[in-house]
Amino acid sequence: MLLRCGKIGISTIILILVSFASYSHSARSDNLQFIVGGQNADEGDAPYQISLQTLLGRHLCGGAIISDRWLLTAGHCVSGYPADRLQVVTGTLQYAIPGAIYYPESIYLHCNYDTPKYHNDIALLRVNQSIVFDAHTQPVNLPIGPWAASGAQLLFTGWGTQSISGSTPARLQRVQQQYITSQTCKSLLSDYEDVELGPCHVCAYRQLNIGACHGDSGGPLVHEGILVGILNFFVPCAQGVPDVFMNIMFYRDWIRRVISGNAKCTQVHEQIIG
Ligand SMILES: *[C@@H]1O[C@H](CO)[C@@H](O)[C@H](O)[C@H]1NC(C)=O
């Protein structure tokens, strides 16, 4: 899996700079925002959803619980953060009112993650105690084989912004998106010439004014209870082009190897990548 998969260009870079700039703002912010055009999620819609936060409770990114000790998120969500500066909120529709809080003991950023192109933008976090599962807190299944992508309806959830400068959602938002082929995705993203899609990507789209925004990164894309993507890239925000996810099928082996302790590269304690 050494494909340089996922060359993403200028607009992502802008996006990332925006989010890093807001990371560095002092305390918690009033300028958090959420999925554009979503609906309030209900209890049980996405019990695997987590809010990745600073220790002050500032929401940074989404992610998904995949077992009692492991979470998946986007690489760019954790790059720059030592594990002991982050917390994981589970079991809630309101990230500011945690069901429970867990603490990462280690972060495994994909060995071939890089910047500024955001190849292999995926990371695993191991928390230092077992996540207690209940009606609001459950792991999501990983794909065990190819899924019926064609025409598939995909559920995306997040606490990202409602517009580029939108406000904090009271509640987790959900949006139903549709799988689109890599070819259609490329053509819809053709104004963004640096975007190069590969087998490591999944594209999802609904329509103009419905889609991902700041704070949604790392969030889960789910097909019939199976995690198929982790949000990598979007043009801020809901501009009528697809959202691009890291393809979990493609990273299954990497996930298995990291969890079993057989990953080629070691965990990232600080900013050492590779
Ligand atoms: C997990 O980490 C947190 C934060 O560092 C700490 O307060 C807590 O005691 C740790 N829990 C366990 C079981 O080690």
Vertex 75: Cα angle to 72 and 270 (nearest 5): 110
Same fold, 48-139+252-270 and 153-247: yes
What tokens does 160 get? 């990202």
> d(Cα 75, Cα 73) in Å, to the nearest integer?
7
**CB-neighbour burial class of residue 97 (10 A; exposed 0-12, middle 13-18, buried 19+):** exposed
> For residue 80, what pLDDT is reported?
84
Give the residue, out of 81, 129, 130, with the most ligand 1 atoms within 8 A of its beta carbon, to mutate for a pocket test.
129
130 in contact with ligand 1, CB cutoff 6 A: no
- Cβ–Cβ < 8 Å for 47, 137: yes
What tokens does 27 get? 């305390």
Low-confidence ranges of the chain (pLDDT < 50): 1-4, 6-33, 269-274
DSSP 135: T
Q: What is the pLDDT of residues 124-154, one digit of tens each?
A: 999 999 999 999 999 999 999 998 889 899 9
Active-site positions read 76, 121, 217
Q: Is 180 helix (H, G, I), strand (E, B) or coil?
A: strand
129 in contact with ligand 1, CB cutoff 6 A: yes
Index of the ligand 1 atom closest to the CA of residue 128? 1
> For residue 236, what pLDDT is reported?
86
Dist. CA 63 → ligand 1 center (Å): 20
pTM for this entry: 0.86
Q: Which residue's alpha carbon is nearest to atom 13 within ligand 1? A: 129
> For residue 65, what pLDDT is reported?
98
CATH says 48-139+252-270 is which class?
mainly beta
Q: What is the pLDDT of residues 97-132, one digit of tens each?
A: 999 999 999 999 998 888 777 889 999 999 999 999
> For residue 118, what pLDDT is reported?
81
Residue ranges covered by each domain of the chain: 48-139+252-270, 153-247
Phi, psi of 252, deg, nearest 5: -55, -45
Q: Which residue's alpha carbon is nearest to atom 10 within ligand 1? A: 128
- Cβ–Cβ < 8 Å for 87, 120: no
> For residue 266, what pLDDT is reported?
56
> For residue 168, what pLDDT is reported?
64
> For residue 227, what pLDDT is reported?
98
CATH says 153-247 is which class?
mainly beta
